[in-house]
Structure 1
Amino acid sequence: MEKITILIADDHTLVRETWSFILNTDPRFKVIAESGSGEDAVELAKQLRPQVVIMDINLPGMNGIEATQLIRKYSPVSKILGVSLHTQPTYARKMIQKGAMGYVTKNSSREEMFKAIMEIQNGRKYICDEIKNILSEQVISGEDNQNGLNSLSQREIEIIAFIKKGHSSKEIADSLNISVKTVEVHRYNILKKLNLKNAAALVNFINNSQLEFEN
């Protein structure tokens, strides 16, 4: 049986090596390359055309969501499995929107990752049990903030992370290499989408909801 070729993209060397070891112990899989950044992942996918790309969302420079979009453009044969510490369905949704076929969290078991790889390789989308359970709880509890959260752009999510840490608009602008005016526009749009009055209300909303936003 021909092995499924896999590219691993994660910025932690130990994580890449562990995944590579685990996957290569299974006769169905063959890890053909590893990458520590989004840019390298795109280049490797262009050159090697792996059947599956295991893509961490939080990569330095170009993040995993952006890299996913480019890999789908330059290597359409590659099916992408998003992997992240984030357990919020918003992140899974954004990965799927950009072309990923599946999403698992770093809490997922080895067996679930194997299952996810086989499912997406066979052309079916796969969302891990942890995310599906959270979605179920949200439906049961009647939470109505998900539409607003799901409408946030990747840039808005990054800015929320800075706001949560207490950064000023100027500090955010300097970190993201954009203008203060652009930051203010993003802040206004974030509050509008989440139906909140000010930054303090946003931070309170994030903390109370136990949402995970990182930059």
Structure 2
Amino acid sequence: MKQILIVEDHAIVRLGIIRLLQDLLPMPVAIEEAATGAEALDRIASHPFDMVLLDLSLPGRNGLDLLKQLRRLHPKLPVLVLSMYPEEHYAVRALRGGAAGYLNKGSAAEELQAAAEKVLGGGRYITPSQADLLAEALVEEPQDAPLHRQLSDRECQFVSLLAAGRSTNEIANELSLSVKTISTVRSRVLEKLHLRSNAELIGYWVTQHPEE
């Protein structure tokens, strides 16, 4: 029986994922849950898992930071990232950080099944579009790279949420940060992108990611 840990802070989402995996996977699975990064680390330290299904938006810390920590502490434990963020923003970051695969939460159930089977079987699940993104990242010269490639994981999260219409307070709550910290993140982003206002920032992000 395969052992799976779902790291997701929304109980309803966890329940939906559990039901999908139990219904779709051809092998029997035992599934445990964690709502925070700290809880996930505790469970992994005391229990052998065959796969971690990881959300990137967790209270108190960045899911990509947790991914990197898991790769250091448990290098043989495969992590499949399941996130609300489009793959154009985070797939390359997650795969470079050691993820065995990256899925958007809007993906079809069949894609989750295929990805989980692949990762549980010891493989990596990379879609054709993600392969293109990885290839582009490998061959792109630094001087030709878009300015937003300079942004940290946290800064990308901030801009994604801002472009989605979230207020500063809402972003602070979602990322489990103070409003002051969010203001600091905003200042760094504007400086890196050579922009002056939220309107310019949103306009830049939408131009770079028209599919959203």
TM-score band (shorter)? 0.7 to 0.9
Hey, what's the Cα distance between the residues in 2 that align with 1:112 and 1:55? 16
Identify unmatched segments of 5+ residues in structure 1: 139-143
Identify unmatched segments of 5+ residues in structure 2: 137-142
Q: State the Cα deviation string for residues 27-82 of structure 1 (Å, max 9, x = none).
A: 42413311112221121122113111010111111232122122222322310000
Q: Does 1:11 find its partner at 2:9?
A: yes
Contact 2:87–2:104 (Cα < 8 Å) also in 1: no
TM (norm. structure 2) is: 0.73
Matched to 1:44, the amino acid is R
Residue 35 of structure 1 is matched in structure 2 by 34
Hey, what's the Cα distance between the residues in 2 that align with 1:15 and 1:159? 22
Aligned Cα RMSD in Å?
A: 3.7
Hey, what's the Cα distance between the residues in 1 that align with 2:28 and 2:191? 46
Residue 156 of structure 2 is matched in structure 1 by 157
Contact 1:156–1:190 (Cα < 8 Å) also in 2: yes
Give, in angstroms, the shift of residue 105 of structure 1. Answer: 0.9
Residue 59 of structure 2 is matched in structure 1 by 60
How many matched pairs? 198
User: Using CA pairs below 8 Å that are at least 6 residues apart, which structure has the higher relative contact order?
Assistant: 2
TM (norm. structure 1) is: 0.72
Hey, what's the Cα distance between the residues in 1 that align with 2:148 and 2:89? 7
Hey, what's the Cα distance between the residues in 2 that align with 1:40 and 1:107? 26
Relative to structure 1, the CA distance from residue 15 to residue 166 in structure 2 (aligned partners, 3 Å threshold; closer, same or farther) is closer
Alignment of 1:1-215 (within 5 A): 3-25=1-23, 26-128=25-127, 131-132=129-130, 147-160=146-159, 161=161, 165=166, 167=168, 176-177=177-178, 184=184, 186-187=185-186, 189-191=188-190, 193-194=192-193, 196-199=194-197, 200-210=199-209
Hey, what's the Cα distance between the residues in 1 that align with 2:152 and 2:211? 15
Matched to 1:115, the amino acid is A
Matched to 1:176, the amino acid is L
Relative to structure 1, the CA distance from residue 15 to residue 165 in structure 2 (aligned partners, 3 Å threshold; closer, same or farther) is closer
Hey, what's the Cα distance between the residues in 2 that align with 1:159 and 1:6? 30
Hey, what's the Cα distance between the residues in 1 that align with 2:47 and 2:84? 27
Hey, what's the Cα distance between the residues in 2 that align with 1:30 and 1:166? 40
Give, in angstroms, the shift of residue 148 of structure 1. Answer: 2.8
